[in-house]
Amino acid sequence: MVTRTAPSHLSARERTRRAARGGASQSVPAPLLVPALIAVAFLVLPLVGLLVRAPWRHIGAALSGSDATQALVLSLWTATTATAISLVIGVPLAWVLARTRFPGQRLLRALVTLPLVLPPVVGGVALLLAFGRTGIIGRYLNSWFGLTIPFTPIAVVMAETFVAMPFLIITVEGALRSADQGFEEAAATLGAKRMAVFRRITVPMIAPSLGAGAVLCWARALGEFGATITFAGSFPGQTETMPIAVYYALESDPDAAIALSLVLLLVSVVVLVSLRDRWLRGGSVP
């Protein structure tokens, strides 16, 4: 029997890829195949039901209303703004968690990732108690600057940032922990300043994971509902995002709710599919 081996001139990474592709063609044991098929059915069938029940003939009319357009535009710009804020303040926090050691670090990491498991409505209540007119911070914003945050577009951005930023932080922190620090140490040895090392070496090195975290953050912000409706309310054109519009439309006009859901589904699928090969395979080189 002839055993096929990888050519010696191939890199270790390329040999690993070829071995992985070869392993993917193996038959799946029945004890794993059955639960896997059940999982696929559980995740895919609701989406199929959405597509089957969609009012395709009337979808244009369902989406032509000004409320739907305003909700879509609001959702897109608030999700994008929340992602930008998360990049500006979340990436430095991820670096602190990954590259430094200090007392209470584990507690801080637990608090940072808490919104991942915290019910969104609870997050909205917490934001309201912190930044509301009588909140621990909001009272001073109101009395000193006359600034009221709840039930405004700013509240939408804050709610989405609160629930979405942990996705970016844990993704970037994991990338920083697994990254080879040899290049950073070499640059520091040659006299590069720490911020220059961060900008020119660290960020490009974790760029795939950074992109993946940003995409996940954006997608989570786009679909946020509980914290938003609790902290920002539902005012058409101001704080009514697409998920909130879907919720209210389901009560009075199910066809419109399905049409709005299809728009959210389409936007999410297009973003994830278009960026998957480049970013969500963290670090793979074409």
What's residue 285's pLDDT?
Answer: 36
To the nearest whole percent, how much of the chain has pLDDT over 70? 85
Average pLDDT over residues 64-76: 80
Average pLDDT over residues 30-48: 90
Q: What is the DSSP string of 195-242?
A: HHHIIIIIHHHTHHHHHHHHHHHHHHHHT--HHHHHHT---TTTT--H
What's residue 257's pLDDT?
Answer: 84
CB atoms closer than 10 angstroms to residue 113: 16
What's residue 274's pLDDT?
Answer: 67
Average pLDDT over residues 105-127: 93
What's residue 110's pLDDT?
Answer: 92
Is residue 281 over pLDDT 60? no
Among 99-103, 224-228, 229-233, where is mean pLDDT lowest?
99-103
Per-residue pLDDT band at 278 (split at 50, 70, 90)? low
CB atoms closer than 10 angstroms to residue 222: 23
Is residue 21 over pLDDT 60? no
User: What are 162-188's pLDDT values in tens digits?
Assistant: 999 999 999 999 999 888 778 777 887
Which tokens go with 186?
A: 């070499």
- 283 in Cβ contact with 242 (< 8 Å): no
What's residue 161's pLDDT?
Answer: 97
- 245 in Cβ contact with 71 (< 8 Å): yes
Is the pTM value of this prediction over 0.85?
no
User: What are 125-165's pLDDT values in tens digits?
Assistant: 999 999 998 899 999 998 999 899 999 999 999 999 999 99
Is residue 195 over pLDDT 70? yes
What's residue 224's pLDDT?
Answer: 93
What's residue 1's pLDDT?
Answer: 45
